[in-house]
Structure 1
């Protein structure tokens, strides 16, 4: 009798968990749009926000000081999600950092396939303008960098949280904090990926009728 009960529990629990998750994504899982009309990467030749789910970062002039942030993002976020279609990283860096960026790419490349890591070079004015278009409560430092990474969706909207238990409105994710990446950014990227998958399935179903 006990063995039968255990088997039933083992069979039923995954189904209940799946239904709960599916229900949550459908009804409550839309990741809020915090800012619309983020500036497109018109100054870049190798990347665009449009039609991509983007993790956006600003490494600044002192690339070496942001290596730890880049490695945290690579290990906790990029390696987990890079195989999804239309997913990319965009790291904005000032002109003059090309050699340091090349070194960083080599180091990250030893740990992962960096095909979807895009390093975009820009002037200080272009960096300031792009960051301002996010309309966050955060600031770039004097080196045009920040430890925070951001999620920009396919329609150039900044996504985040409006009811975060620690910050209230959460515009970005602190890449100094493995906990912030593991406990929050991973979940939010899962939600936005599921959101687009559900929309794609719905569109395909509508076309078939």
Structure 2
């Protein structure tokens, strides 16, 4: 009994506290699923020639469009407000799906971002424009891509490839819907998205602690 209490104090209690404080803005007990089981990436290649996958990763997925440099302010907002705060989490990654033909612009942007942050967990993946459109459409979201196959919104994809956001009645009984987070708005990233990412990360930390506890 005493051992159980000690284990709870050492492992579970800090996570419970973390979830409590992380959910100061997010009024859902658990971040809802907006789109279940999103498709895994095809054999699209990253800037470094890798095959990047979503499975078993907590992914911030973006569609910056063909004008990558034109929208670089959004990338810097995302870097400062989200990526830099979470990049040390082993299973966290940032993935931007970009139309083929934008490789030169992307290399230039990555060079600029690299001056401020470690880009190891940030991937730019290239695909034909029509495939990007089909992939995005499969999410069945309210927001749409523009004619450059881009959107200022980014999306949280969990390890089971579910798109997470705010959907349905929150703990106050109020209806909410938020499928993505606007990278043009530093406030949206700093408040809603930062909080929601913390909640998803905390879910997996808590699950990991429970699994470790069972092994003891």
**What TM-score comes out, normalization by structure 2 length?**
0.81
Higher Cα Rg, which structure: 1
Q: Equivalents in 2 of 1:53, 1:200: separation in Å?
A: 14
Identify which of 54, 68, 71 aligns with 1:66.
71
- CA-based RMSD: 2.4
Q: CA deviation at 1:200?
A: 0.8
Report the count of equivalent residues. Answer: 191
- Give the structure 2 partner of residue 53 of structure 1: 58
Identify which of 187, 192, 197 aligns with 1:179.
187
Q: Equivalents in 2 of 1:54, 1:115: separation in Å?
A: 14
Identify which of 101, 105, 112 aligns with 2:106.
101
Q: CA deviation at 1:23?
A: 5.4
Q: CA deviation at 1:59?
A: 1.1
Q: CA deviation at 1:181?
A: 0.3
Gaps of 5+ in 2: 1-13
Asked if the contact 2:22–2:195 (Cα under 8 Å) also holds between the matched residues in 1, the reply is no
Asked if the contact 1:30–1:191 (Cα under 8 Å) also holds between the matched residues in 2, the reply is yes
- 1:34-58: per-residue Cα shift (whole Å, max 9, x none)? 1111111123243110000000101
Gaps of 5+ in 1: 1-16
Q: Equivalents in 2 of 1:64, 1:25: separation in Å?
A: 33
- 1:157-177: per-residue Cα shift (whole Å, max 9, x none)? 000012589992100000111
- Give the structure 2 partner of residue 38 of structure 1: 38
Deviation >6 Å, runs of 4+: 164-167
- 1:122-146: per-residue Cα shift (whole Å, max 9, x none)? 0012201221122211000000000
Q: Secondary structure at the match of 1:134?
A: coil
**What TM-score comes out, normalization by structure 1 length?**
0.84
Shift in alpha-carbon separation, 1:95–1:21, aligned structure 2, 3 A: closer
Asked if the contact 1:25–1:195 (Cα under 8 Å) also holds between the matched residues in 2, the reply is no
Asked if the contact 1:29–1:195 (Cα under 8 Å) also holds between the matched residues in 2, the reply is no
Q: Secondary structure at the match of 1:128?
A: helix
Q: Equivalents in 2 of 1:24, 1:63: separation in Å?
A: 35
Q: Equivalents in 1 of 2:19, 2:214: separation in Å?
A: 20
Q: CA deviation at 1:207?
A: 2.9
After superposition, where does 1:30-179 map in structure 2 within 5 Å?
30-45=30-45, 46=50, 47-162=52-167, 163=169, 168-179=176-187
Q: CA deviation at 1:115?
A: 0.5
Bigger helix fraction: 1
After superposition, where does 1:184-199 map in structure 2 within 5 Å?
184-199=192-207
